[in-house]
């Protein structure tokens, strides 16, 4: 499951081989196949991640948006290197003169103009992303406070409030902040919101730094019934916003 830090990690590698380069693109999806002639030789001006989205900006202003959801993955191959995944699962193949970057099984691949992206109700208008230079904590709090009656565990997964938080991050951010996932936004104290913000920034950064190692920073995700690492109480789990979440009933209150 690709949460923000993993998406930024992949984007960095893609940027190294694709940004500023001329590419030839093949699409594995029928709806985009007919556009291939316009991608025979085109420069990628920018490769960026925003939340869980990959965005490739072409010299003609078009933007290729890719979202891995639960199943997609990227590979970067040298020209002579054999692929380790079947070609029929390739959704987009980007060729430079030295490398081939391939996204496999990604359920979301879209070609959009900047205004189409900005106005898209699902993919546009993303909230601030803690791993981008343009992150604004003020903007995050403004978007958070637009949902006073919603539960914090649900709102943290809303990409238009904060981009890049997935299930693991929302659970660990709330645990470290001592805020229960069921708390309504309108009930949060100023100091609790400050703690949330602090742990959001800290855990995104921690995950980025530990990318190649085991995720030793994860404390309660998938640890239902096990003792809380801070107080020894059994970790509970329940369903929220369609996903399983975990909490310590003592540290996070009930």
Q: Applying CB under 5 A, which residues contact Zn ion?
A: 228, 230-231, 233, 248, 250-251
SS (H, E, C) the chain: CCCHHHHHHHHHHHHHHHCCCEEEEEECCHHHHCCHHHHCCEEEEEEEEECCEEEEEECCCCEEEEECCCCCEEEEEECCCCCCCCHHHEEEEEECCCEEEEEECCCEEEEECHHHHHHCCCCCCCCCCCCCCCCCHHHHHHHHCCCCCCEHHHHCCCCCCCCCCCHHHHHHHHHHHCCCCCCEHHHCCHHHHHHHHHHHHHHHHHHHHCCCCCCCCCCCCCCCCCECCCCCCECEEEEECCEEEEECCCCCCC
Return the number of the residue (131 or 248) whose C-beta is nearest Zn ion. 248
CB closest to Zn ion, residue no: 228
Least distance between Zn ion and beta carbon 95 (Å): 52
Return the number of the residue (146 or 233) whose C-beta is nearest Zn ion. 233
Return the number of the residue (58 or 246) whose C-beta is nearest Zn ion. 246
Least distance between Zn ion and beta carbon 251 (Å): 3
Return the number of the residue (130 or 153) whose C-beta is nearest Zn ion. 153
30: how many CB neighbours lie within 10 A of its CB? 7
Return the number of the residue (95 or 250) whose C-beta is nearest Zn ion. 250
Least distance between Zn ion and beta carbon 250 (Å): 5
Least distance between Zn ion and beta carbon 207 (Å): 22
Least distance between Zn ion and beta carbon 224 (Å): 13
Cα gap 104→87, rounded to integer Å: 8
Least distance between Zn ion and beta carbon 173 (Å): 15
Return the number of the residue (117 or 247) whose C-beta is nearest Zn ion. 247
């Amino acid at each position: 499951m690709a949460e923000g830090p993993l998406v930024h990690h992949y984007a960095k590698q893609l940027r190294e081989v694709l940004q500023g380069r001329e590419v030839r693109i093949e699409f594995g999806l029928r709806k985009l196949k007919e556009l291939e002639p316009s991608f025979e030789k085109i420069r990628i001006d920018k490769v960026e991640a925003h939340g869980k989205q990959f965005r490739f900006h072409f010299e003609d202003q078009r933007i290729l948006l890719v979202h891995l959801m639960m199943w997609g993955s990227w590979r970067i191959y040298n020209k002579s290197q054999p692929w380790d995944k079947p070609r029929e699962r390739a959704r987009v193949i980007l060729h430079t003169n030295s490398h081939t970057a391939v996204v496999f099984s990604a359920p979301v691949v879209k070609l959009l103009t900047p205004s189409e992206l900005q106005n898209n109700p699902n993919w546009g208008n993303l909230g601030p992303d803690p791993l981008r230079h343009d992150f604004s904590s003020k903007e995050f709090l403004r978007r958070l406070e637009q949902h006073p009656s919603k539960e914090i565990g649900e709102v943290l997964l809303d990409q238009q409030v904060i981009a890049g938080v997935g299930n693991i991050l929302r659970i660990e951010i709330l645990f470290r902040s001592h805020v229960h996932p069921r708390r309504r936004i309108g009930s949060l104290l100023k100091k609790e919101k400050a703690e949330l913000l602090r742990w959001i920034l800290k855990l995104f950064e921690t995950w980025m730094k530990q990318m190649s190692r085991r995720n030793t920073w994860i404390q309660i995700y998938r640890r239902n019934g096990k003792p809380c690492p801070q107080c020894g109480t059994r970790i509970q789990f329940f369903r929220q916003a369609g996903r399983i979440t975990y909490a310590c009933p003592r540290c996070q209150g009930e």
